A and B are shown apart, each in its own frame.
Chain A
Amino acid sequence: DADVTQTPRNRITKTGKRIMLECSQTKGHDRMYWYRQDPGLGLRLIYYSFDVKDINKGEISDGYSVSRQAQAKFSLSLESAIPNQTALYFCATSGGGLGYGYTFGSGTRLTVV
């Protein structure tokens, strides 16, 4: 099994719909992140969480919300999807501290029509 699992892998949804992207990890790490990738722009941080009771906004949090259901689970919601939220979404986890690398999920390709 993958260390970081994202579901669904692909999703097409209509403008105005609510959609949830889910992420679970088996690394046992406390820190989890949601990033968004757009062509030519690299990855940008949406939200991050350092433990179950800690949620923080990233660079581009408008239009998104998150829920940290457990140490291993971190979900991202689009309350009312719009076409410019069409992107590749990545969940990641890290062990914290400066010596820990990041592990990314395989991504969710979301298309809003």
Chain B
Amino acid sequence: GIQVEQSPPDLILQEGANSTLRCNFSDSVNNLQWFHQNPWGQLINLFYIPSGTKQNGRLSATTVATERYSLLYISSSQTTDSGVYFCAVINQAGTALIFGKGTTLSVSS
């Protein structure tokens, strides 16, 4: 089945720094989503981005489907950005999301 790999696995930042999280996938996809899991465990959908670029405040995402990767940019990071960021793609049967193992981000003040 399709493989989803995220890097780096862990990231530690000072408040105000910028960061880039990467998601590689092993096959062509037509549904890619980024999620943030906050320290309380809640999963929040950040972007639905099968291709192109989207921005939402300090966060933006770019997916280059032909090269099988997506990037999540976080600018001017804040402590509330801490948590785990997941990339997920629809499996080849089109039945469910397949998740990467996540990037754990820690932002300190």
Q: Which B residues lie within 8 Å of A102 (CB)?
A: 33, 45, 88, 97
* A101–B101 CB distance below 8 A: no
Does residue A73 face the partner (Cβ distance < 8 Å to B)?
no
Q: Is the CB of A40 within 8 A of B101?
A: yes
Are B31 and A56 within 8 A (Cβ)? no
Q: How many angstroms between the C-alpha atoms of A82 and B41 in the bound complex?
A: 23
Please measure, in the bound complex, the distance between the C-alpha atom of A113 and the C-alpha atom of B84, giving whole angstroms: 27
| Interface hits, B4-46 → A, CB 8 Å | 4, 30-31, 33, 35, 41-43, 45
* B86 pairs with A43, CB closer than 8 A: yes
Provide the bound-state CA to CA distance between A103 and B88, in Å: 13
* A: number of interface residues (CB 8 Å): 24
Which residue from chain A places its CB closest to the CB of B45 in the assembled complex? A101
Q: A40-B101, A42-B101 are in contact. Are A104 and B96 (CB under 8 A)?
A: no
Identity of the chain A residue whose Cβ is nearest the Cβ of B102 in the assembled complex? A42
Determine whether A106 belongs to the interface, using a CB cutoff of 8 Å to chain B: yes
A101 touches B41 (CB 8 A): no
Residue of B nearest to A44 (CB): B99
C-alpha gap A33/B88 in the complex (Å): 14
Q: Write the B66-97 contact mask toward A (1 if CB under 8 angstroms, else 0).
A: 00000000000000000000101010001111
Docked Cα-Cα span, A44 to B99, in Å, equals: 7
Chain B positions within 8 Å of A19 at CB level: none
Fill in one digit per residue for A71-102: 1 if any B CB lies within 8 Å of its CB, else 0.
00000000000000000101010000011011
User: Can you name 9 A-B residue pairings with CB atoms under 8 Å?
Assistant: A35-B99, A42-B99, A42-B102, A43-B97, A56-B95, A101-B33, A103-B45, A104-B43, A106-B41
